[in-house]
Amino acid sequence: MGSSEVAELVSLAGATAVVTGGGGGIGGGTSRLLAAAGATVVLNDIDAELAAVAVADIEAGGGSAVAVVGDIRDAEVVERLHATATEVAEGAVDVLVNNVGDYRPNGRFVETDDEQWEAQYEIQLRHVFRCTRAFLPEMQAVGRGAIVNVSTVEAFRGIPMNTAYSAFNAGISAFTRSLAVEVGRDGVRVNCIAPDMADTLQTPAEAMLRGRDPDLVGSWIPLGRWGQPSDYARAVLFLASDLSSFVTGSTLMVDGGTMAASGWYGRADGRGWTNLPDRP
């Protein structure tokens, strides 16, 4: 296989890609990379400034992007995103990236309430259902499409003080597997990435390392560094492109090796748990 054939496999030229939470962090890195691969990107973000910067960056790089500002938890925003994207694509979009999520500990499970559970459902899982239901029928009608969901490694290991977050993210991966089987014969692939140690606006490495010995990073993360938005975006591009043409129903760990190496630990002082041990 020559270089031109390899380039064609990873190219999204002529495609339309939708990215929720596509202004900053993992979503921002994904929007920019999919555009660099040739896709016209329709990105959603709740932050108008982040969305505008992402569009400007993409256009400065010679790409094409449109922003739909709003809270993806709102059904009206999903409808507006769908209407905008299908107009841009003149029909079915080629790639849907359900990226939005929120890491926010709720405390001990017995002290949480229905309102907190509902909030976690809305921000982690419900919008994934809504966006997928909005875009999937057109993909099925044309016999092609790639859906990439974003979960977390915390869906696969215990995370005390954040049980609902873990449960709903596990739901994303379960949804991915089941939907992949359901729509595979329609030519639609459904996959997922599970990030960890992401140096983003929501979980900045500087804040995570505050008060800790940075020399221990290699003890926590086998690859010895925090993940950058571009690391996760490359995994999404792989799953969105023809490089993964025979991959569906999978969740890809994008974690620097943390799931292979470790989990959560009780703190030495007895005050809760940590996934960043204070001692080697």
Burial of 117 (0-12, 13-18, 19+ CB in 10 A): middle
Residue of 121, 165, 232, 265 with catalytic role? 165
Three-state DSSP state, 221: coil
CA distance 154 to 159: 6
Q: Which residue has the tokens 């899982």?
A: 125
Active site residue 165: yes
CA dist 91 → 70, 127, 144, 177, 241 (Å):
22, 21, 12, 26, 19
Question: Which distant-in-sequence residues (6+ apart) come within 8 Å of 70 by Cβ?
Answer: 44, 46, 76, 77, 80, 81
CA distance 201 to 101: 13
Tokens for 208, please give them. Answer: 């995570």
Query: Phi/psi at 192 (nearest 5 deg)?
Result: -150, 150
Tokens for 194, please give them. Answer: 């599970």
Decide: 165 and 159 in contact? Cβ < 8 Å: yes
Active-site residue list: 165
